Amino acid sequence: MDLLLASLAIDLVLSSCGAPILWQRVTINEPIKAEDLAFIIPGRTTFPEILEKLGTPDDISGSKRGPVAHYRYLDQKSFRVDLAWPLRFFIPLFAIPVISPEMSFADTSLGTDVFLVLFDSNWIVQEHAFAQQAHTAGFNPWPF
């Protein structure tokens, strides 16, 4: 009986490193909303004004018409549950390295936004638009 309690105690300590439920969220940059863009007037708004309101772009590339500033937003959510995790308490300690039961359900979703601003050679805004606008990552813990 003492050996069983000792093995359960050691198993609890060792298994605390791996949780049966994992929730994660990764967000990069702040989302850009339509009301954040009301100040942009094509033909009048300058690059310094864009920098002041929206911050530094993630990337600036060239095009035939002029430079293009890229603003990106990323939102990723993931969920994982190991339904066999409680079985660790019923498998003898010596069998753990050999038998590691796992029955997991997982779901990951990703939402991205890309906002582009096209400038002329004098760095005055000519056009702006969302090249890709997705809703933020949804969450559905049921994998089917």
Cα dihedral sign, 120-122-126-127:
positive
What residues contact residue 114 under an 8 Å CB cut-off, 6+ apart? 70, 71, 72, 130, 131, 132, 133
CB proximity list for 139: less than 8 A, separation 6 or greater: 77, 79, 107, 109
* Average pLDDT along the chain, 144 residues, taken 10 residues at a time: 56 53 76 86 94 92 92 81 69 56 66 89 93 58 49
Whether the CB-CB separation of 137 and 77 falls below 8 Å is answered with yes
Q: Comparing C-alpha atoms, which of 85, 66, 76 is closest to residue 134? A: 76
The pTM (predicted TM-score) of the whole model is 0.59
